[in-house]
Each structure stands twice: as C-alpha cells, then as structure tokens.
Amino acid sequence: MVVKVYGPVYASPKRVLVCLLEKEIEFETIPINLLTGENRSPEFLNLQPFGSLPVIQDGDYTLFESRAIIRYYAEKYKSQGADLLGKTMEDQGLVQQWLEVEAHNFEPPVLNLVRQIMFSSFYGLTGDKKVIKESEEKLGKVLDIYEDRLSKSKYLAGDFFSLADLSHLPFTHYLVGPVGKEYMIKERKHVSAWWDDISSRPSWKKVLDTYGLPF
Amino acid sequence: MVVKVYGPVYASPKRVMVCLFEKEIEFETVPVNLLTGENRRPEYLKLQPFGSLPVIQDGDYTLFESRAIIRYYAKKYKSQGTDLLGKTIEEQGLVEQWLEVEAHNFNPPANNLVLHIMFSPSFGITRDENLIKESEEKLAKVLDVYEDRLSKSKYLAGDFVSLADLSHLPFLNYLVGPIGKEYLIKERKHVSAWYDEISSRPSWKRCLEYGFPFEFK
C-alpha cells in the first residue's frame, strides 16, 4: 500500500514530497482545494483537526505536520535512499537545530511576504507595506546568519545534505519566484551557491515538474 | 564534564531543563539577562547567532533551539531515565507530530499573550488589546482540538508521556499563572486533567526552583 500525501500543489506538502523522493519511497497524491475550503470539511478535519496541509496516510497510520512527517520517514528509512539525518548523534542534533531555525526564524518572515505579495496580488489587493518592509528586514538578518554559517559549512548541518536544507525548498522557491525577492538570495555568495545546489537536486525538479503551484 | 544550559529563569530553557531532569542528565546553568541585552553581546552571539535562548554546551558540542536540544538528548539517552520518544517508530512519529503542533499552533498565540500581558512594556512592546483578543481566540480553538485528542488518549502522542507533553509546560505555567487565563485550561476537562498530571511531575517542580525573570504577582 502506497503512502498518500494530501495537497501536493501547496508549499508544505512539497516538503514531504521532496523528502519521499530522496528516500525512494513510493507515494500518491490527493488534491485538496484551499480556495473552496476543502480543508475545513469534516472528512478532512477527521484526518487533520487543525485543517492544515499536509497530512499523510500510510495504511492505517495517519500523520500531520510536514516537519514531523519528514522526520518520521527519514528515521524509519534511514538506510534507504539519501541519509537526511546525519551519521552521528551530534550530526543529527545539528540537523534538528537547523530544521528548528528554518521553522522559527526563516519561515515566519517568508510566509508574511508570501501572504502580502503573492496571495494579495492573487486577490487583487495591495499588500501591507509596513509588514512587507519589516518582514524583509527580518529575513535579511536571518539570511546574513545563513551566509556566515554557509561560508564555513557546505550545508546547514555540516558537509551533508539533510532535512534542514530540504525544508527550505518550497518557500525559497516562492521567494526567488513569485514573491520577487531573488536578490536576497543572489546578493549573498554562499547562500546563493547553497540555493543553486539544493534546488537543482533531481528530487526537487521532479516535484516542481509534476505537481505545479496553486495558481 | 557537565552540560551547561543558558538562561534558566526563562521559559524556553526550562523546556530543556525538564527533559534533562527526566533523562537523569546532570547539568549546570549559566544566567543570561535579556533586560540588559546580554543575549545581543558578541560572546553570546558566538554561541547562538540569533540571540535567542536557550543554548547548551556539552564539552565541545554547542546546540541551540530548545526543541532540537530535547530531541538530541531524548534520542542519545533513550535507554536512560524516562523514554520521551515512544517505543515504535510510529509512536515516535506521533511524538514529532504533537511537538510540531506545540511549536506551530500552541506556542504562537500563547507567546503573544506572554509578550503583551506579561512582558509589555519591557522589550519595547506596546500592549495590543486586539492582538490579545485574537490570540486568546486562536488558543481556545487549539485547546478545543487538544480536548478532543486528550479525551481519547492519556497523553498527546499516546499512553506515554513524551517530549510533546513536556514541551508545553513553560508556557502553560505562564498561562495559568501571571497571564491570568487559567480558565482556558480548567474549563476543558481532559486538558485540565492532563495539565495537572504533567505539571506535578517532580522534574517540572525542580525547574520552577530556578525562578522567573520577574515577580509573579
């Protein structure tokens, strides 16, 4: 029985899809339409009571929160496909650290930019300039720290590609594309090289080619 | 050599300390004063470049982000003290799920209440009543989901206490105490029983002895 991943056109589910491809785990996808509020239907809330994407079903086993799902599969299938966790306990600790940094320092300002610039324009609204300016400043400071880290380390957790790098793919893709702030990446030499590296992985290219975007 | 935990009077470091007590791992603490901006000085930024608390030093090994630190110790010392991860990989997945829920659904509105009710006007925060109202509403909806979950499961990830439950303790402690919103917990039968259970663990009581950054009224 094949893993089912809900909501493939959206960003957070793509975090799971790229991880499953790296781990060579077969899956199928089930569309969920956020515009029609499908994520608030009783059937969906039965699977994911917060109404967020993604959720996976693996036989009887249901799991939600993309960063929990990728940790689960990276651990369960550690010896299959790319090892996204690190060899030693200490390597694994650093993967956890940078995955937490992505969730708590990187994603919040990027998500603000996505909402104010991408979704606003979709609805024909102008984004809140103050929020955009503050979020860009915050993100700039975070990326300065990444620049320093990546000047000493090929990938975030060390010399190996891990869940921590992978987790950045969906929202950085929005940032350099429809959000229109590619310069934030390109202006930073090591962040730029890191982005070119991770975004050219076959797994990520396959996700983009196969599943598209919500608009 | 003993683990050093920075900033023990604050909430997020207590997330680490309660787990170290559960895992029977010795540690010492190093004070950091946020009010004097000690966390923005070069010596601290060298350890934690984002200037947040906590950070730990374990010999040569430095690690930051409380939920990364607790995952590291829970895994490294799995067979020592309380097992906070679960026995099977599927149980561990559920621990990860509820730990993510704490981080992304529970913590943000709770943190808004902490900043605007407890800490303002310190740290340049102007109290925003709208934000307080919205945050309480969001938190109530999250706690409704918890109420349903805990009516079917003794702890969040299953019938065993885990990182997911313990991770809630520092901010729940603020919520029922200085924030003055104990009713959010007490009104919900299963959430209330769960809170009573986890907050009475000896490991948590020991954490409270490290104090707080202010006087609880």
Taking the domains of chain B in order of start, what are their residue ranges? Answer: 3-83, 89-204
Q: What is the ipTM of this complex?
A: 0.97
Interface A-B, measured as beta-carbon pairs within 8 A, has a size of 78
- Using the beta-carbon criterion (under 8 Å), do A89 and B75 form an inter-chain contact? yes
Candidate from B68, B76, B89 with C-beta closest to A89: B76
- Looking at domain B89-204, its CATH architecture is Up-down Bundle (1.20)
Quick one: tokens of B109?
């509105």
Q: For an interface test with B, give the residue of A72, A88, A147 to mutate (most B CBs within 10 A).
A: A72
Report domain B3-83's class: alpha beta
CA atoms within 13 A on the CB side of A33: 3
**Band (A195; pLDDT cuts 50, 70, 90):** very high
Residue A80 contacts B where some CB pair is shorter than 8 Å: no
Establish whether the linkage from the previous residue to B121 is cis, with ω within 30° of 0: yes
Write the CB contacts of B170 (distance below 8 Å, at least 6 apart in sequence).
B11, B12, B14, B15
Measure the CA angle with vertex A133, ends A130 and A135; round to 5°: 105
* CA dist., res. B87 & res. B77, Å (int): 13
Closest CA to A10 of A108, A98, A119: A119
Domains B3-83 and B89-204 share a fold: no
- Cβ of residue B149 closer than 8 Å to a chain A Cβ: yes
Q: What is the pLDDT of residues A65-78, one digit of tens each?
A: 999 999 999 999 99
All residues of chain A having their beta carbon less than 8 Å from the beta carbon of residue B69 are: 93, 97
State the smallest CA–CA distance between residue A170 and chain B in angstroms. Answer: 18
Q: Which of A68, A89, A100 sits opposite B68 (nearest CB)?
A: A100
State the 10-residue block means of pLDDT for chain B, 217 residues long.
95 98 98 94 98 98 98 98 98 98 98 94 91 98 98 98 98 96 98 98 98 71
* DSSP assignments along A161-185, one per residue: --HHHHTTHHHHHHHHTTT--HHHH
